[in-house]
Amino acid sequence: MPGTLTSTPLTALDRCDRCGAAARVRAVLPAGGELLFCQHHANEHMDRLRELDAVLNTDEAPAI
């Protein structure tokens, strides 16, 4: 039986893979792997992430 994939909630330590700002969106790619984005970069790349059928988690990271 296949295992269940779970993502831990985003924390204040999670950073955007593009710019290093606080991560607000986790994109889990169907081919494996994940990308973390601030809201600005998530918005910028949203169309392509949807084309790739990425699973988007928008957990709110706590404020520092």
pLDDT average per 10 residues of sequence, the chain (64 residues): 65 96 96 96 97 88 55
Query: CA 43 to CA 24: how far, in whole Å?
Result: 11
* Whether this model's pTM surpasses 0.85: no
What is the rounded distance in angstroms from the CA atom of residue 11 to the CA atom of residue 20?
13
Per-residue model confidence (pLDDT) at position 60: 60
- What is d(CA 4, CA 41) in angstroms, rounded to the nearest whole number? 28
Please tell me the distance from the alpha carbon of residue 57 to that of residue 26, in angstroms, as a whole number. Answer: 5
Distance CA(11)–CA(47), nearest Å, equals 25
